[in-house]
Structure 1
Amino acid sequence: MTDSDPANLPHARLRARAARSNRPGRYEGYARESVDDGWAGDEEPPPPLRTEVREERPRSVLTRNRSPDVGFDRSVNPYRGCEHGCIYCFARPTHAYLGLSPGLDFETKLIAKPDAPEILRREISKPSYRPEPVAFGTNTDPYMPIERERRITRGCLEVLQEFRHPLTVVTKGTLVERDADILGEMGQAGLAQAAVSVTTLDAGLARAMEPRVPSPARRLRAIERLARAGCPVRVSVSPIVPGLTDHEIEAILQAARDAGAAYATMIVLRLPLEVADLFQEWLAHARPDRAARVMARVREVQGGADYDATWGTRMTGQGTYAELLQQRFTLALKRTGLSREAPKLRTDLFRVPPKAGDQLALF
């Protein structure tokens, strides 16, 4: 059972958190609500919520994907949950599978996979394995703050570099600069591409929506440093929040191009399952004067609902307003010289490094 009533969670506990509540996941049969019974007296207010990290030791870390509207068929997620705490994150509902809330639990109760590099090594060493780009950052951010100490993402990249295996990275975390040595070398060899997500250039709005993500200006510097290292960089203008951030499409693309990005994509806001209620709670608190307008626009591009999961339109939206967003994006690409499509990564360099005792090939 989890505390679910946003009105009764002390404000101090929510410092640097986007979710306003800890609503139970869709599989939970019970909820617990905090109620002021008048007996609090002079007790000290509870401390801010702290990040907790547990460990998981899975048998496999390669997740296969067969969705027809995404550009990868396999991914690695070194962590579950995400300390960045973006209120709109489409991955929040995955915490319900763990018996945890997609709300504050998603931001504060994280799962790390410390054995991921060695498990990945074992999986791609199998004789039956055929290489295609491995995507990082498809569910939760591989460069959230705990990666600084855990270094699980770094370990996975080192394995893929050793195997000359192609990879892509999507992140909002500027810790990705630490791994510019790997991403730069592999990028120059046609084996790596990076994407940095920039939702808004408004630092105040970014702090409210993405409370533990580096500022937009800092993310632009990460684009610059990755590009300078030799890694092709894409700016991901996502999610575009209709009625809140959609007016910034052109400015974000220009700033990213100036920083060194060569490619760009956009995704319209998605609010699957529990995310819809969490986002509307946040909106009513953070932007009450815009809440009705934003949700009206969101529903306009989602066929009248909070979210339409139809493949092919779930990331672009539908209807006149969604078409206008796409047209503006296309025109901005032409003005900035950015491309939608990056070159295909190489798979012909893949090799399984010999182990101690293996017989070396003659040719």
Structure 2
Amino acid sequence: MVDDSLDPELRRRGRGACSNVVGRFERLDRRFEEDGWDRAPEERVLRTELSREVPRRIISYNRSPDLPFDRSINPYRGCEHGCVYCFARPSHAYLGLSPGLDFETKLVARPGAAEALVQELRARRYEVAPIAIGTNTDPYQPIEAGERVMRACLEVLAGCDHPVAIVTKGTLIERDIDLLAPMAAKGLCRVGISVTTLDADLSRRMEPRAPGPKRRLEIIRRLSEAGIPVRVMAAPMVPGLSDHELEAILREGRAAGATSASWIMLRLPREVSPLFQEWLQSHAPGRAARVMGRVREMHGGKEYDANWGQRMRGTGPYAEMVAARFRNAIRRLGLDARQPALRCDLFRPPERAGDQLDLF
């Protein structure tokens, strides 16, 4: 099977993964075979491809006891930000695609998501609770500018006063302040902005198409000025590479207007581990052994432990030390105040043409 994305001469500028290994469900391997046709340098560029699917359902439910939500929406599959550490990469294997370069170059938009959302919110058995968006792939990645799937879903939620919690690193969220600010005023929304590092060079190499650190702090500032509660997320902390920045990230987030904070340790489930180790050997070979040594130390000698309550923080002395640093920092910065729960009492099912209007 010929796969141009495996071409060693292909220019991968602006991409996070270094390879495009097959997903765990595939029976056949892939390798590059030169076909004898010389290609000009400008043709040897790995470009983004976009396909579309119309979902029948858009709300996904989970019962994970270590997650603060039980339902979420994913407007897109795959993410062009290309963060090499992204724990969502293995989900691309379910599409018959690679969690490597395919994840950040072969994207799937979900037009019709808003219409599916309306139907689900109107269901008689639906019980309102906050919907999380951005917990898998970023709803404000670059293709949202043209596709506007996230915008359409947000319009539905705003129209029926449904609570929502959003996680992103994308600047496009600023476009939707006109919807988010009124929702925040009613206690219906909050936003988390993830800041992995304040080192612009490290950010460019580790999350190549995501906004840089300074720009993300500006997102926090603009949302906060609009009255939208923002949480600065020091996530993921990469041991031996970015973990020393934890306090600085929290401090800068607080200065930008964040009112709460959280942190997550680097997670390397399934295909993410070999992809990340490959990236380390390419971009930080001198630190690779130290980074992976710390990772294994926090997971009982393994590269990942999926047990609830441990998968996002790890265990052992090192993980406990980082957790203590976080607690001390948020207490010192005033980021430890408990945030009020999002309101669910204002929700009303979305209206549709032909509905009888309320008389009172």
TM-score class normalised by the smaller sequence: over 0.9
The residue type paired with residue 202 of structure 2 is L
Task: Summarize the Cα distance change of 1:19–1:354 in structure 2 as closer, same or farther, 3 Å threshold.
Answer: closer
- Note if 1:152 corresponds to 2:149: yes
**Contiguous gaps of at least 5 residues in structure 1:** none
Using the alignment, how far apart are the partners of 1:35 and 1:156 within structure 2? 43
Alpha-carbon offset, residue 44 of structure 1: 2.4
Q: How does 1:168-317 map to 2 (within 5 A)?
A: 168-317=165-314
Instruction: Report the AA paired with residue 121 of structure 1.
Output: V
SS in 1 for 2:93: helix
Q: Does 1:346 align with 2:343?
A: yes
CA gap of 1:57–1:357, structure 2 versus 1, over 3 A, is closer
1:32 CA drift (Å): 2.2
Q: Deviations over 1:217-258 (max 9, x none)?
A: 000000000111111000111101010010000000000000
Contact 2:121 2:350 in 1 (8 A): no
Amino acid at match of 2:357: L
Shift of 1:348: 0.3
CA drift at 1:13: 2.0
Q: Answer with 180-189 or 150-159: which moved more.
A: 180-189
SS in structure 1 at match of 2:311:
coil
Output one character per residue of 1:24-79: Cα deviation in whole Å (capped at 9) or x when no partner: 00011121223679x68x64234211111101111100000111100101100000
Q: What are structure 2's unaligned runs of at least 5 residues?
A: none
Answer whether contact 1:235 1:256 (CA < 8 A) is retained: yes
Structure 1 counterpart of 2:17: 19
Contact 1:3 1:31 in 2 (8 A): no
Q: Structure 1 counterpart of 2:29, which letter?
A: A
Q: Give the counterpart letter for 1:70 in structure 2.
A: L
Give me the whole-angstrom Cα distance separating, in 2, the residues matched to 1:276 and 1:2: 25
Would the aligned equivalents of 1:9 and 1:21 in 2 still touch at CA under 8 Å? Answer: no
Equivalent position of 1:44 in the other structure? 40
Q: Secondary structure at the match of 1:220?
A: helix
**Secondary structure in 1 aligned to 2:127?**
coil
Q: 1:2 to 1:124 in 2, by over 3 A?
A: farther
CA separation in 1, counterparts of 2:279 and 2:305? 21
Q: Deviations over 1:96-127 (max 9, x none)?
A: 00100000000000011010011101110122
Partner of residue 96, structure 2: 99
Shift of 1:340: 6.5
- Does 2:115 correspond to 1:122? no
Structure 1 Cα separation of the partners of residues 8 and 141 of structure 2: 25
Would you say the 8 A contact 2:2–2:33 is kept in 1?
no
1:301-340 → structure 2 map (5 Å cutoff): 301-339=298-336
Q: How many residues align?
A: 359
SS at match of 1:308: coil
Q: Which amino acid aligns with 1:333?
A: I
Conserved 8 A contact 2:280-2:288: yes
Question: How far apart, CA to CA, are the structure 2 residues paired with 1:90 and 1:355?
Answer: 38
Could you tell me the percent identity over the aligned residues? 58
Aligned equivalents of 2:159, 2:25: Cα separation in 1: 42
Q: Which residue of 2 aligns with 1:141?
A: 138
2:109 partner letter: A
**Structure 1: how far apart are the matches of 2:47 and 2:39?**
20
| Contact 1:354/1:360 (<8 A) preserved | no
Structure 1 residues 349 and 329, CA, compared in 2 at 3 Å: closer, same or farther? same
The amino acid that maps onto 1:13 is R
Q: In the TM superposition, what is the alpha-carbon distance from 1:197 to its structure 2 partner?
A: 0.3
Q: Distance in 2 between matches of 1:283 and 1:35?
A: 27
Superposed displacement of residue 303, structure 1: 1.6
For 1:163, give the aligned amino acid.
C
What corresponds to 2:79 in structure 1? 82
RMSD after superposition: 1.7
Distance 1:230 1:3, change over 3 A: same
User: Post-superposition shift, 1:192?
Assistant: 0.2
Question: Measured at CA, do residues 270 and 159 of structure 1 come closer, stay the same or move farther in structure 2, by a change above 3 Å?
Answer: same
Secondary structure at the aligned position of 2:50 is classed as strand
Whole-Å separation in 1 of the counterparts to 2:57 and 2:214: 37
